[in-house]
Structure 1
Amino acid sequence: MTKAIKLLTALPPPQRQRLMALAREASFPEDARIFEADGRADRFWVIRSGAVSLDQQVNSLQRVTVASLGAGDLLGWSWLFPPYTWDFGAVAFSPVRAYEFDAQAVLELCEEDPELGMMLVRNVAEVLAHRLEMTRGKLMEQYTLHRRGAL
């Protein structure tokens, strides 16, 4: 399994400094819903401390946790791809402190600095690949448990 990439530490210092110039401090109390699936994705966060659960609504009464994120992790990537809506929901599992980035400002910075833009897209792609691999493993685990229960 690949190691999780940490978005900010993966950027070289000059690019990280340019990106961080756009950051603002954000915090969420435990159990706060940060965003809902299908909502407008116009920002993203890098978690500084605490834990966030990504979830998917299964039916009107049930949500399933699909991933857990912690310090250094990217929260939100849907701002980068049309139709710019969240694919999952996110809730603070514990008190969370994060850097918040306005998507439009980051996209404008990437237009001004194509090298930074390419690095950012590559790093987000690595994050997505890692999360896809993790999700696949969880699905296989659930399938195995379900098959054992059916026998």
Structure 2
Amino acid sequence: MAIAREVSFDVGARIFNEGGKAARFWIIRSGTVALDLHVPGRRSVVIETVGAGDLLGWSWLIPPPHWHLGAEAQSPVRAYEFDAAAVRELCGKDPSLDHALCVYVAGVIAERLRAARVRLLDLYAPFGAGDVP
């Protein structure tokens, strides 16, 4: 937390865009953020909404560091912001921190992939296509 800084975003603020350079991440303290996916020929699709206590942004950890989704504040947001380079430097000095962070972020990635799959099936697949036998 020594390297975190407190930030806020107004309703409708674009926090990052899909494809942009991922150089920071946030832990949301309050408010909600919609994670969206660009769909050619259509409006962006909200894949998931994250809120208090959630990690916003994991793309900084995996080279090349570019956002895989976009993010927009759905309500006033307060968050702790972390500089990715500073966190990677700390992880380089502390293997147990590195391991714990990687395991945590891997869990977030898995959950976001699941949410994206379910949401895209809801939107675009024939009825029942996502049912598990």
Report the TM-score, using the length of structure 2 for normalisation.
0.89
Please tell me whether residue 112 in structure 1 is matched to residue 93 in structure 2.
Answer: yes
Task: List runs of 5+ in structure 1 lacking aligned partners.
Answer: 1-19
Q: How does 1:8-47 map to 2 (within 5 A)?
A: 20-47=1-28
Task: List runs of 5+ in structure 2 lacking aligned partners.
Answer: none
Give the aligned CA root-mean-square deviation in angstroms: 1.7
Match of 2:72 in 1: 91
Report % sequence identity: 54
> Once structures 1 and 2 are overlaid, which stretch shifts more, 35-44 or 51-60?
51-60
Q: How does 1:74-85 map to 2 (within 5 A)?
A: 74-85=55-66
Q: State whether residues 36 and 71 of structure 2, in contact with CA within 8 Å, keep that contact through their aligned partners in structure 1.
A: yes
Match of 2:82 in 1: 101
Tell me, what secondary structure is at the counterpart of 2:81? strand
Q: Deviations 1:19-71 (Å, cap 9, x if unpaired)?
A: x1111001000000001111110000010000000111213661111111000
Please tell me whether residue 58 in structure 1 is matched to residue 39 in structure 2.
Answer: yes
Q: Deviations 1:63-122 (Å, cap 9, x if unpaired)?
A: 111111000110000100111111111000000000000000000000111100100000
Q: For this pair of structures, how many residues does the alignment match? A: 128
2:60 & 2:2 partners in 1: Cα distance? Answer: 19
2:20 & 2:121 partners in 1: Cα distance? Answer: 29
Please tell me whether residue 134 in structure 1 is matched to residue 85 in structure 2.
Answer: no
Hey, which of these two has a bigger chunk of helix by percent?
Answer: 1
Tell me, what secondary structure is at the counterpart of 1:26? strand
Letter in 2 for 1:34: I
Q: Deviations 1:102-146 (Å, cap 9, x if unpaired)?
A: 000000000111100100000000111122222222233332449
